[in-house]
Amino acid sequence: MRLRLLLLLALCRAGPAASGRSLSLRGSWRIRSGNGSLELPGRVPGCVHSALLKRGVIQDPYYRFNDLGYRWISLDNWTYSKKFKIPFNISKWQKMNLIFEGVDTVAKVLLNSVPIGRTGNMFKRYSFDITSVVRDVNSLELRFQSPVLYAAQRSKAHTSYSVPPDCPPPVQRGQCHVNFIRKEQSSFSWDWGPSFPTQGIWKDVRIEAYNICHLNYFMFSPVYDNHTQEWSLEIESSFDVVSSQPVSGQVIVAIPKLQTQQTHSIELQPGERTVELFVKINKNVTVETWWPHGHGNQTEYNMTILFKLDGGLSIKKSAKVYFRTVELIEEPIEGSQGLSFYFKINGLPIFLKGSNWIPADSFQDRVTSDLLRLLLQSAVDANMNTLRVWGGGIYEQEEFYRLCDELGIMVWQDFMFACALYPTDRDFMNSVRAEVAHQVRRLKYHPSIIVWGGNNENEAALMMNWYNIPPRELHTYIKDYVVLYVKNIRKIVLAEDKTRPFIISSPTNGAESIKEGWLSLNPYDNNFGDVHFYDYISDCWNWKVFPKARFVSEYGYQSWPSFSTLEKVSSQEDWSYNSKFSLHRQHHANGNNEMLHQIGFHFKFPESTDPLQTFKDTIYLTQVMQAQCVKTETEFYRRSRSEIVDGQGYTMGALYWQLNDIWQAPSWASLGNQLVSPANYHFLSSLSESVGLHKAHVTAIISQQGDTFAFDLETSAVAPFVWLDVGSIPGRFSDNGFLMTEKTRTVLFYPWKPTSKSELEQCFRVTSLMDVY
Ligand code: BMA
């Protein structure tokens, strides 16, 4: 399963007819602070923060106010260095490259004290020719510049006009000018996340040595011809031919399960060469398509591709191929103004139900395959079929998309531009162009990705004038917007990938935005494209406040994480709703009050005389409120699929904000331990007005069933919003936050790490509504 196609990394392995050698430079490096006062070992892939934490120089960066206390780390200019021997005879190789799959972010690269290049974009792949510099014993150095200082410097150098926003709102306690650096935009802070602008080598690094020719990358797209009703594969392989003579030979592509095998002759001229092949799939065999979760299987086919070249040189690759088509349908709807906005997969219209994905940690080296699997499996178990990889984060790691392919999760993939205007000077654009080409090539073979999106909310930022740009200056910014997203990103994407749609922004009016010159006067128009909708003021039980839009790609409400989650990053003095800590962790202006305001519509506030209990009960109510609000809103969008009322409706997507959290703080996230109950109910009044509810005594008998634990619950009275909690034991319940009307009910707990019945019994807490009064 691990043998992935990602052949950007592909290397001709040593063998009988070896064309290359590879040396990994992962593992232990030295890290030095700017003035040399700190020097320590650090892992690659990794970052300075993780290294400092591992050595005990700093404590948990997520603890209390440490995000402020550790600000010095991102303001320093760190150096990564490594000494290494080349374990093969370098004189035997015509060409040697130093490859970085990802550097975070701004660094000078020196090999044996010779500058060999610079990096400046976390999302690019870097390859440096080191043939003339490399020795048997080497010292490699990456001299980083603080990303915060670099961004400030670039912004200052942009003298012709300002590119807002300069800084995030003060409540985010973040850093400024993140739009001037090609780095995870939320790493300078967000309205749900801390400011930890990392430095480091965050992806693989290695040396590649080769003779004759080298396969730089290999990628493919399955294409369906509607007329002939046949599948074919477009395969593109890129070579660096270092031989002074042309290299010729054969390529054999085989997909045994589809009884498809084809041989092509090729001749590679010296230099960088690309070979394009068109392979027809045997039409006498039925191709099983890839389907989103809930609509069918995710059938995969094994493909091998063998290059047999002059001089006995042979390069063999294997890959998994999935077949599916995707169309974005924007067409007139009878009885309605505007256009539809929905996706057809394999010709079938599908309602996209799911959520938005943000980076899973401020420190990417902590995001393991296991963590990704748990989060993505949770999304599938909650009956989601779509995640939007939001444009303020990162293009996710390979494993993320591999899991989405396997689980049937559709991915709406943004390019990494969010809630800001961006410069378009030459350096910036060159960097963006390389980033976009690289990411499209890297990711396009994944069937899970069904749409590319140019940015998050930047059409809205401009047209709703978030940054108070004087009208006479607007044209400058509109021009920049079109240059960046239309004339560059869109152009590159369409040239590299014809198998899925591209939309410029989210929200956008789609075809209507294009018609209006790529930006619509009101990108939030319910009759076109997608909308983002947030309303913290109106009563969320009143479905009339929600937009009957074509597609809602963001909506949501905040809640606080469970006390057991907060407890780990706080101390006793922090445990109240208005503590300094509670205000510090809240990055959304007035967010804590908005939650109380929303609770007030339907619930009484906690009545305990114990301040800690009141804090816990308030947290519980924020979660109950969030679950109810998101439920009501989601149900409204699902219902709106099949109706047009007053010309509005045919909603075909609901992606709430947001699936996961980056740290322990109030946010819009819904996962870390509950699933929304699949059973439905309707309250006849607000819970604050209900009479006759008794305090429910809920008990549980826990038993182990293989890897799963059954919680046999029994209640003494009807219990609304039964909330199960097992403290810091990671895992999830099959059901949580439910209305218990029957005397007994069994809920399953799926642990994410091995645990025991007695451990669970010790940590188990249950809360239901009347407990807080
Ligand atoms: C939208 C998102 C994010 C933000 C969220 C909640 O604006 O695109 O930028 O975190 O709302 O405010």
Closest approach atom of ligand 1 to CA 457: 8
Task: Select from 534, 657, 670 the residue to mutate for testing ligand 1; criterion: most ligand atoms less than 8 Å from CB.
Answer: 657
How far away, in angstroms, is 466 Cα from ligand 1 center?
14
Going by the DSSP 8-state scheme, the letter that residue 419 receives in this structure is S
* Superfamily of the domain at 21-208: Galactose-binding domain-like (2.60.120.260)
Give yes or no for residue 29 CB within 6 A of ligand 1.
no
Interval 176-231: pLDDT, tens: 999 999 999 999 999 999 999 999 999 999 999 999 999 999 999 999 999 999 99
Give yes or no for residue 192 CB within 6 A of ligand 1.
yes
Question: Can you give the pLDDT at residue 673?
Answer: 46
Question: Can you give the pLDDT at residue 16?
Answer: 37
The alpha helices in 417-557, defined as continuous H runs, are 426-443, 458-463, 474-481, 491-496, 511-515
Angle at 128 between CA 122 and CA 130, to 5 degrees: 150
Closest CA to 554 of 414, 699, 438: 414
- The reply to whether domains 213-310 and 698-771 share a CATH topology is yes
Length, in residues, of the chain: 773
Which residue ranges make up each domain of the chain? Answer: 21-208, 213-310, 326-671, 698-771
Q: Please, how many CA atoms are within 13 Å of residue 190, restricted to the half-sphere of its CB?
A: 25
Give yes or no for residue 410 CB within 6 A of ligand 1.
no
pLDDT at 458 exceeding the cut of 50 = yes
For atom 10 of ligand 1, the residue with the nearest CA is 191
Give yes or no for residue 190 CB within 6 A of ligand 1.
yes
Q: Provide mean pLDDT across the span 449-474.
A: 98
Give yes or no for residue 661 CB within 6 A of ligand 1.
no
The dihedral of CA 162, 194, 574, 620: what is its sign?
positive
Q: Verify cis geometry, omega within 30 degrees of 0, for the bond prior to 470.
A: no
Tell me, rounded to whole angstroms, the distance of Cα 107 from its chain centroid: 25
Place of tokens 């109910």: 681
Question: Can you give the pLDDT at residue 8?
Answer: 30
Q: Which two tokens stand for residue 189?
A: 């802070």
pLDDT over 90 percentage in the chain: 94
Place of tokens 């591992």: 54
pLDDT bin (cut points 50, 70, 90) of residue 82 is very high
> In terms of DSSP bridges, do strands 731-733 and 744-751 run parallel, antiparallel, or are they unpaired?
antiparallel
Give yes or no for residue 231 CB within 6 A of ligand 1.
no
Distance CA 164, CA 73 (A): 26
Interval 237-265: pLDDT, tens: 999 999 999 999 999 999 999 999 999 99
How far away, in angstroms, is 72 Cα from ligand 1 center?
27
698-771 CATH = 2.60.40.10
Asked whether the beta carbons of 655 and 552 are under 8 A apart, the reply is: yes
Q: Which two tokens stand for residue 329?
A: 């349908």
Distance CA 764, CA 33 (A): 45
Give yes or no for residue 530 CB within 6 A of ligand 1.
no
Interval 739-770: pLDDT, tens: 999 999 999 999 999 999 999 999 999 999 99
Interval 582-639: pLDDT, tens: 999 999 999 999 999 999 999 999 999 999 999 999 999 999 999 999 999 999 999 9
Residue-wise DSSP of 323-352: ---EEEE--B-TTSSSB--EEEETTEEE-E
> In terms of DSSP bridges, do strands 653-656 and 352-357 run parallel, antiparallel, or are they unpaired?
parallel
Give yes or no for residue 396 CB within 6 A of ligand 1.
no
pLDDT at 682 exceeding the cut of 50 = yes
- 240-269 CB burial, b ≥16 within 10 A, e <16: bbbbeeebebebebbbeebebebeeebebe
Closest approach atom of ligand 1 to CA 419: 9
Distance CA 630, CA 354 (A): 12
Q: Which residues pair with 554 in a beta bridge?
A: 532
Catalytic residues: 457, 554
Interval 361-403: pLDDT, tens: 999 999 999 999 999 999 999 999 999 999 999 999 999 999 9
Residue-wise DSSP of 256-286: GGGTEEEEEEEEE-SEEEEEEEEEEPPTTSP
Q: Which two tokens stand for residue 629?
A: 């609000």
Angle at 35 between CA 33 and CA 36, to 5 degrees: 60
Q: Which two tokens stand for residue 536?
A: 């913290």
Question: Can you give the pLDDT at residue 680?
Answer: 81
Q: What pTM does this model have?
A: 0.95
pLDDT at 2 exceeding the cut of 70 = no
Going by the DSSP 8-state scheme, the letter that residue 484 receives in this structure is I
Contacts of 519-522 with CB under 8 Å at 24 or more apart are 519/459, 519/462, 519/463, 519/478, 519/481, 520/459, 520/463, 521/463, 522/463
Distance CA 726, CA 747 (A): 13
pLDDT bin (cut points 50, 70, 90) of residue 671 is low
* Superfamily of the domain at 326-671: Glycosidases (3.20.20.80)
Task: Select from 554, 555, 670 the residue to mutate for testing ligand 1; criterion: most ligand atoms less than 8 Å from CB.
Answer: 554
* Amino acid identity, position 371: L
Interval 497-536: pLDDT, tens: 999 999 999 999 999 999 999 999 999 999 999 999 999 9
pLDDT at 147 exceeding the cut of 80 = yes
Question: Can you give the pLDDT at residue 564?
Answer: 92
Closest approach atom of ligand 1 to CA 190: 10
CATH topology of domain 213-310: Immunoglobulin-like (2.60.40)
Q: Verify cis geometry, omega within 30 degrees of 0, for the bond prior to 165.
A: yes
Query: In degrees to the nearest 10, what's the CA dihedral of 639, 644, 645, 651?
Result: 50
> Which residues have C-beta within 8 Å of that of residue 752, sequence separation ≥ 6?
370, 374, 730, 731, 732
Closest approach atom of ligand 1 to CA 588: 12
For atom 3 of ligand 1, the residue with the nearest CA is 191
Distance CA 117, CA 100 (A): 12
How far away, in angstroms, is 695 Cα from ligand 1 center?
38
pLDDT bin (cut points 50, 70, 90) of residue 26 is very high
Q: Which residues pair with 532 in a beta bridge?
A: 554
DSSP percent split of the chain into helix, strand, coil, nearest 5? 25, 30, 45
Q: Helix 591-602 to helix 611-639 angle, to the nearest 10 degrees? A: 80
Distance CA 177, CA 167 (A): 6
Tell me, rounded to whole angstroms, the distance of Cα 661 from its chain centroid: 11
